[in-house]
């Protein structure tokens, strides 16, 4: 069996290429770890900016290293690559159009990391979902919802849509709690109870005139009161609202404060009132007939048979 001839020069070039590419990716890998350990971890405030920029740097180093390795091992590849780029002009346009959305996501990610409308760890409201910014990548951002779901959002979408950031300046939020009491209730006592319940809550942040309670409106069934207090963040505010409602109901019951329910008074026209009167008379006459028949039956049979 004849062993096929292998050019030693070509084999050596392949080995050099493999070694060069391996070295390039090793350098990129350790560069990524170096940026994380020396910049990201010691400076958490830079995490948002560096989360995307470090990926851009590492990817650029990997691509430049790979291109340098190929052109060094195969110098003739420079002319070949140039010819391919010139000959594939139309294909480049097609590929560019196809990759337009991905490129826009990359650009949007870089702009977000620089302008920082939100940061990693911030609490945000996106499309009625309360989330935390968990990670930012080149083309998308990962949001973690309050029930531990992950929303993977393209960066271009986050750049173009409006979201509420609860953490960008001051994470503390106002907590409004609305309660109705009956018109017969003691308003001053009810409001004092609401404020006292809020002050006793461990997550309440008393600031200035808060917590306070005020009359908001006269409703159909009762008087609407609003308790206003402050919590350290939106997540705490959700839990605090539930606790306050529960404790306010207990204290109202203990102090005789009535929480009303809807009461409706129906007024009928003449035709409907006449129909109701006829039905009432018919019901009364039917009741009288039944009583008369029962009385006649008892008189005709004074000794009813008993069950044996």
Do 180 and 221 form a contact (C-beta atoms < 8 A)? yes
Residue 240: which domain range? 173-255
User: Which CATH number is 142's domain given?
Assistant: 2.30.30.60
Residue 4, in any domain of the structure: no
| Total structural domains within the chain | 3
Residue 278, in any domain of the structure: no
> How does pLDDT run along the chain (308 residues), one tens digit per residue?
444 544 556 566 667 667 766 777 777 676 767 766 666 556 555 566 666 666 777 777 777 777 776 667 666 655 565 665 555 555 555 556 556 777 888 888 888 888 888 888 889 999 989 999 998 888 899 999 988 999 999 999 998 899 999 888 888 889 999 999 999 999 999 999 999 999 999 999 988 889 999 999 998 889 999 999 999 988 899 999 999 999 999 999 999 999 988 767 677 788 888 888 888 888 877 665 555 555 555 555 554 554 44
Regarding whether 39 and 78 lie in a shared domain, the answer is: yes
Residue 233, in any domain of the structure: yes
Rounded to whole angstroms, the Cα distance separating 112 from 133 reads: 13
What value, to the nearest 5°, has the Cα angle with vertex 259 and ends 254 and 263?
145
Residues 6+ apart with CB under 8 A from 35: 50, 54, 57, 58
Main-chain phi, psi angles of 120, to 5 degrees:
-60, 130
Residue 139, in any domain of the structure: yes
Residue 288, in any domain of the structure: no
Residues 6+ apart with CB under 8 A from 182: 221, 222, 223, 258, 259, 260
- Please identify, among 255, 270, 287, the residue that sits at the C-terminal boundary of a domain: 255
Rounded to whole angstroms, the Cα distance separating 244 from 198 reads: 7
Rounded to whole angstroms, the Cα distance separating 135 from 132 reads: 9
Regarding whether 158 and 177 lie in a shared domain, the answer is: no
**For position 307, what pLDDT does the model report?**
47
Regarding whether 127 and 70 lie in a shared domain, the answer is: no
Rounded to whole angstroms, the Cα distance separating 111 from 105 reads: 10
Regarding whether 194 and 146 lie in a shared domain, the answer is: no
Residue 111, in any domain of the structure: no
Token digits of residue 127: 């499309």
- Please identify, among 218, 234, 255, the residue that sits at the C-terminal boundary of a domain: 255
Rounded to whole angstroms, the Cα distance separating 131 from 128 reads: 9
Q: Scanning the structure block, which residue is given the tokens 């990759």? A: 99
Whether the model clears a pTM of 0.85, i.e. scores above it, the answer is no
**For position 189, what pLDDT does the model report?**
95
Regarding whether 251 and 188 lie in a shared domain, the answer is: yes
Regarding whether 157 and 177 lie in a shared domain, the answer is: no
Regarding whether 188 and 145 lie in a shared domain, the answer is: no
**For position 1, what pLDDT does the model report?**
47
Regarding whether 223 and 202 lie in a shared domain, the answer is: yes
Residue 80, in any domain of the structure: yes
**For position 154, what pLDDT does the model report?**
93
Regarding whether 160 and 143 lie in a shared domain, the answer is: yes
Regarding whether 206 and 237 lie in a shared domain, the answer is: yes
- Please identify, among 127, 144, 165, the residue that sits at the C-terminal boundary of a domain: 165
**For position 79, what pLDDT does the model report?**
59
**For position 295, what pLDDT does the model report?**
53
Residue 74, in any domain of the structure: yes
Regarding whether 124 and 71 lie in a shared domain, the answer is: no
User: Which CATH number is 197's domain given?
Assistant: 3.30.70.100
Rounded to whole angstroms, the Cα distance separating 108 from 114 reads: 10
Do 152 and 145 form a contact (C-beta atoms < 8 A)? no
């Amino acid at each position: 069996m004849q062993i096929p001839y292998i050019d030693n020069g070509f084999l050596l070039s392949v080995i050099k290429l493999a070694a060069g590419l391996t070295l390039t990716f090793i350098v990129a890998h350790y560069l990524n770890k170096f940026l994380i350990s020396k910049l990201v971890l010691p400076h958490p405030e830079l995490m948002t900016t560096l989360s995307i920029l470090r990926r851009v740097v590492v990817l650029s180093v990997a691509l430049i290293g790979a291109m340098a390795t190929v052109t060094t091992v195969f110098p003739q590849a420079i002319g070949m690559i140039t010819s391919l780029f010139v000959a594939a002009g139309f294909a480049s346009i097609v590929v560019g159009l196809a990759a337009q959305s991905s490129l826009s996501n990359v650009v949007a990610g870089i702009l977000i990391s620089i302008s920082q409308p939100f940061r990693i760890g911030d609490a945000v409201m996106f499309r009625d979902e309360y989330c935390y910014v968990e990670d930012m990548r080149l083309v998308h951002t990962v949001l973690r919802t309050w029930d531990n779901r992950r929303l993977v959002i393209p960066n271009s979408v986050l750049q173009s849509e409006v979201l509420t950031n609860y953490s960008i300046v001051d994470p503390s939020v106002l907590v409004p709690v609305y309660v109705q009491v009956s018109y017969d209730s003691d308003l001053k006592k009810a409001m004092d109870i609401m404020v006292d319940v809020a002050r006793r809550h461990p997550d309440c942040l008393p600031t200035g005139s808060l917590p306070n309670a005020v009359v908001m409106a006269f409703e159909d069934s009762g008087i609407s009161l609003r308790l206003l207090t402050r919590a350290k963040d939106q997540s705490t505010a959700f839990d605090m609202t539930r606790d306050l409602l529960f404790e306010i109901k207990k204290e109202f019951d203990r102090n005789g404060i009535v929480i009303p329910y809807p009461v409706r008074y129906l007024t009928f026209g003449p035709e409907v009132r006449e129909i109701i009167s006829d039905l009432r008379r018919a019901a009364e006459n039917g009741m009288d007939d039944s009583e008369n028949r029962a009385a006649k039956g008892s008189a005709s049979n004074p000794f009813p048979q008993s069950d044996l």
